[in-house]
Amino acid sequence: MTGPVYEHPLNERTRIFLRIETLFACLDGHLADASMWSAKAALSVINELVDLFARPDLKGEFTVELDRLIRWLQALAQSPDVDRERLQHYARELQEEQERLYQIHGQLGQDLRQHELLAAVRGRQAIAGGVTHFELPALHYWMNLHETQRLQNLQDWAARFYRVRPALDLILQLLRECGAMQWQTARQGIYQQALNPRMPPALIRVRLDSPEHFPVISGGPHRFTISFSELVDLGRSRLVNSDVDFELGICSL
């Protein structure tokens, strides 16, 4: 199956990791475009990262998760059927990323909270149409700099957060690989499944070929529900009342 994959986190740590991954992907897209409008959009994403990484426990979430995965691999190594070479490769990568994180002092991007231009943009992002050339002349000046200068500034600011990207990519790769996709059928467009609260999964993944349908996933540590909907027209959807075949991955480490 080659359709899009929809994901739903089942705990707060996974939710935060997916948010950071999404912001990194958005920032990559804006940095790949040299236009001044993409540069402006990139500023908004960087400010979102500034706010997200202002959480005092965020770096600790990474180190705790890396430590948990290292211990999980050590326990898994006792199984006779595992690929030990691959296991050792992942264990080395986890330990290397853990050591890199220990060398980071303070909050990532903390200095950007006091950056005059970024702070001015951040202060007006909540206002519809508030980030304009006449409200923020400094932003207008910066947007009209040569594209190489704008890109250099953006890359410098983004680099503060990209320091955790290898660890993030590794954590999410391991999590996703642990949820083998299996075919399921949503009867009358609804699928429900109970979970073991003593071993709760962290992520639900859904993939389907049908371009007419999309899943709405909800759930917690005990149960999750997938409701399939279809677009009637732009801005309006309705529940599907027929059976829908899809692939389901329940990811737990």
CATH code (residue 49)? 1.10.3900.10
Report the DSSP pairing between strands 236-239 and 203-207: unpaired
Task: Tell me what pLDDT residue 209 has.
Answer: 83
Is 6 contained in some domain? no
**pTM for the whole structure:** 0.92
CATH code (residue 240)? 2.60.440.10
Helical axes 116-124 vs 36-52, angle rounded to 10°: 90
Task: Tell me what pLDDT residue 1 has.
Answer: 58
Question: What are the distances in angstroms from CA 237 to CA 128, 153, 209, 219, 225?
Answer: 26, 42, 18, 21, 18
Among 212, 221, 200, 218, smallest CA distance to 244 is for 212
Please, what sign has the CA dihedral across residues 33, 39, 41, 47? Answer: positive
Task: Tell me what pLDDT residue 249 has.
Answer: 96
Whether residue 246 sits in one domain with residue 139 = no
**Range of 77's domain?**
12-172
Whether residue 88 sits in one domain with residue 140 = yes
**The pair of three-digit structure tokens given for residue 214, joined into one six-digit string:** 């999309």
For the chain, list residues with pLDDT below 50.
none
